[in-house]
Structure 1
Amino acid sequence: MVRKDNRNMNVFKMDTHGCDALKSSHDKMNLLKVIFREIFRVSNIPRKCPIAANKKYFINNFTVREDDFPPIFPSLEFQVKIEISVDRVETATGIIKGRIRK
């Protein structure tokens, strides 16, 4: 969200183990399920652990569709920062920017 002074504000922060995130991607209804459904469709990321070492993983043309969200969900712009760490050492960082239009 953007504050009145035009600074960004964190609305949601989550720290999770990668395998726990993969497990929760199968839960009934949550934001991770929506995101992972599309990730699995457009990537070679495994659906469960273990995740193989020394293998290149990719996500191509990730798209969140309007019908993935309830009708009352507002139009908005968002930015998601992903930091991946192994043994507490950051190994990768990614930023996803987008918007939801109604």
Structure 2
Amino acid sequence: MFARLLVLIILLPLQIGLAKNNYDIVIKSLECKVIAEKYVNELQCQLVRQRIPVVMARFSVNQTIEHFDIHSKFDLLKKDKSRMTVADLKMDGCKYLGSMYQNNIIGKLFKRLRSVSNLPAGCPILGGKLYEIRNYTFNSDEFPPGAPQAKWQIRVKLLKRSELVADISFEGSVVYNT
């Protein structure tokens, strides 16, 4: 009986998110590049701090965009510098904007994003309006416990009718505090 109680005391905080993660998210680089200037007035990304990362971004489009697509890849980078693709996702960007704040795992990760940005909750993306993410901090406690120590890269392509508009890339790692 005592052993079950001890296991419950140890595991329950992990399950409900009270335990702090023993790792940091480190972002080595952040790059944003406009590919189709006919759609985008401005796109800037800045990595303010690498460990417990803080990022800022801003963009403005030339014309109101009613629909766009997102193609994202999440790769683990091996010691021999080869890649192992963990996720390759293609999704409707408008639906993603509308669902990213719902109460699910991704919604929890982006909850603070909403408080530090003026991103729309769906389409249209208004032409001429400046959208910003101001000082978004990656908090490891919002990520699942027990993430493997690894180097990773996320590549995001924003598309309008299959035409590449912008390319965004993060490279980082999970580093355990020992």
Q: TM-score, with normalisation over the residues of structure 2?
A: 0.48
Match of 1:16? 91
Q: Compare 47-56 and 14-23 and name the one that shifted more.
A: 47-56
Is the CA contact 2:77–2:150 (under 8 Å) kept in the aligned structure 1?
no
Structure 1: gaps of 5 or more residues = none
Aligned-partner Cα distance in 2 for 1:79–1:60: 22
Matching residue within 158, 161, 164 for 1:84: 158
Superposition pairs for residues 1-102 of structure 1, below 5 Å?
1-3=76-78, 5-30=80-105, 32-102=106-176
Q: Which has the higher strand share?
A: 2
SS in 2 for 1:101: strand
Match of 2:62? none
Which one has a bigger Cα radius of gyration?
A: 2
Quote the offset at 1:46 in angstroms: 1.1
Is the CA contact 1:66–1:101 (under 8 Å) kept in the aligned structure 2?
no
Question: Per-residue displacement from partner, 1:12-68 (whole Å, max 9, x unpaired)?
Answer: 1111111111233134323x3244334323332112333213333233433321101
SS in 1 for 2:141: helix
Query: How many residues are aligned here?
Result: 101
Report the aligned-residue RMSD: 2.3
Identity of aligned residues (%): 29
Structure 2: gaps of 5 or more residues = 1-75
